[in-house]
Amino acid sequence: MSALLQFDDVTLGYDRHPAVHHLSGKVDAGELLAVLGPNGAGKSTLFKGVVGLLAPLTGRIELHGLRRADIAYLPQAADIDRSFPISLYDLVAMGLWRATGLFGSIGRNERHKVEHAIAAVGLTGFEERPIGTLSVGQMQRALFARLLLQDARVLVLDEPFNAVDSKTIADLVVLVQRWHGEHRTVIAALHDLELVRDHFPQTLLLAREPVAWGVTRDVLTADNLLKARRMCEAFDDDAEACRVDAA
Amino acid sequence: MLRQSLLAPLTDEALRRAFIGASAIALGSGPVGVFLMLRRMALMGDTMTHAILPGVAVGFLIAGVDSVAMTIGGLVAGVIVAVLTGIVTRTTHLKEDASLAGFFLIALALGVVILSVGGGDDEIVHVLFGDVAALDGPKLVLIAVVASISLVVLALIWRPLVLECVDPQFLRSVSGAGGPVHIAFLALVVLNLVAAFPVMGTLLAVGLMMLPAVAARFWARDITSMAVVSVGIGIVSAYVGLAAAAALNAKPGPAVILVAGGIYVGSILFGRVGGVVWRAFPGRHLEA
């Protein structure tokens, strides 16, 4: 297997303060990777770096043969204006962007795909509902339908199962498994250890510093989890410049 | 007499020009106004009318009142302010409203200084409130051109513009079109205001942009029908307002805006989507 994403001593952060500190490693094509860690551990920051919304302070994130449109990103707090008057159908259809671009028409073939994606997340019958009337779980299902249409090689999911009931999680995990079966690369930030153990072969345990990265059962040891929990969340305003770089 | 006034926008030469001009403005301004409203930039149009003032004033000083130079000057000033605002918003941590506020105040003060140095009170009133009689052939052509450009550009950028409103982060993750589309949209706002100001005056040029749009919110549930309804309201306001102005011998520009305002208030009360009356008497709740 070849590395699709490569992290070379990557430090990501804000105003010089590191949120992800000296991360090195790689993600292979077709990998199903869980990123685990307490709040403030740098999971979202890492994902922003991967999708190109945040440039590393130091180090490099290499995307081997990937274009922007090859990576589908589901942010943790999608800043979707839910008061905007469009239907669930139109929201899902946005996922066709890579195929249609600015002007490409949505013909019978595309409409069929949209209906198929909506059916796959169990929202058939909700097509014409304004997005402002959807519940949190329905919205997450709709965003997964949009991800389905994006047909991306890499899917980056930031806490996709937050505030979602167990039935919805079970349905959406099936989709994640399906992507894995289609040899797509899936990286997801999660908090549920059981879910990770059951469904994600690879795990990165992150607590600003990478605590462990590898096969899930080797990573999720009591020792490692304790280490991750001890990390300190607050930035230190008086912190010295990092010495690792100077060395 | 009343019948004569009712038909005046069709029979009277000057009013007919005004009706055609205002209808063309409504075609472009309505949808632009709907997007401004949905992006919570409803007051931005109003601000932009102040921003075009220095350009209008310079055009007036160079070529006199009623000149195309005033329109072109307004266009230049408006585009400069819009582009500067867009750049500052995207490259600094200032939000759009804040960066716009900074530039429009500079522009407004500059415009008033230029006008007060070079012109008299009559000209200032003329620029502020517009003059339907001044709507000659070249200005009508200009309005028609602006309306055409607006509709074509809106058709071209419709998809990314909607996306930029609903889910800007998603648009950024799939395409770099967000920035150019935003600036094109701001340019449309300026174009439509500049086209409207000879008829409506700079103070009320934004009227046919925002009032039909906010009224349409009470009649339509999706963005496309909202845009269509706003155009309809704009054209009806133009006709009724011009007829009323003829009957009462009032100033046509403000009369048109007042009618649009009346439709807005009526829509708040009786609009089918979230109107006050429908909220007060919603009917019994449903089974499921």
- Give the CATH number of the domain where residue B209 resides: 1.10.3470.10
Residue B288 lies in a domain: no
**How many domains, chain B?**
1
Per residue in B222-241, pLDDT (tens digit) is: 899 999 999 999 999 999 99
Q: At residue B57, does pLDDT exceed 60?
A: yes
Q: Are A232 and A207 in contact (CB under 8 A)?
A: no
A97: nearest CB among B169, B174, B223: B174
Domain membership of residue B285 (yes or no) is: no
Q: Do B174 and A98 touch (CB under 8 A)?
A: yes
% residues pLDDT > 70 (chain B) = 96
Asked if B229 has any chain A CB less than 8 Å from its own CB, the reply is no
Query: Across all residues in chain B, what is the average pLDDT?
Result: 87
What is the distance in angstroms between the Cα of B84 and the nearest Cα belonging to chain A?
23
Chain B residues lying within 8 Å of A140, measured CB to CB: none
A1, pLDDT greater than 60:
no
Q: What is the mean pLDDT of chain A?
A: 88
What is the residue extent of each domain of chain A?
A: 1-66+153-163+184-247
Chain A from 88 to 127: CB within 8 A of any B CB: 90-91, 94, 97-98, 101-103
A74-120 tens-digit pLDDT:
988 777 888 899 999 999 999 998 778 777 778 888 899 999 999 99
Q: Does residue A233 have a pLDDT over 60?
A: no
* Confidence (pTM): 0.83
Contact A79 B162 (CB under 8 A): no
For chain B, say whether A84 makes contact (Cβ under 8 Å): yes
Q: Which of A234-238, B128-132, B155-159 has the lowest mean pLDDT?
A: A234-238
Look up the ipTM and state it: 0.80
B286 domain-assigned: no
**DSSP-derived 3-state class of residue A142:** helix
pLDDT for B147 equals 94
Q: At what angle do helices B42-51 and B68-91 cross, to 10 degrees?
A: 130
Range of the domain at B149: 2-276
Residue A229 or A141, more confident: A141
pLDDT band for A139, please (50, 70, 90 cuts): very high
Beta-strand ranges (E) seen in A170-225 are 185-190, 202-207, 209-215
- Which CATH code is given to the segment(s) A1-66+153-163+184-247? 3.40.50.300
CA distance B102 to chain A (A): 26
B12 band by pLDDT with thresholds 50, 70 and 90? confident
C-alpha distance from residue B184 to each of A114, B44, B113, B147, B190 (Å): 29, 15, 30, 15, 10
Residue B15 placed within a domain: yes
Predicted confidence (pLDDT) per residue in B210-221, tens digit = 999 999 999 998
Length of chain A: 247
Check CB contact under 8 Å for B167 and A71: no
From chain A, the residues in CB contact with B165 under 8 A are 81, 84
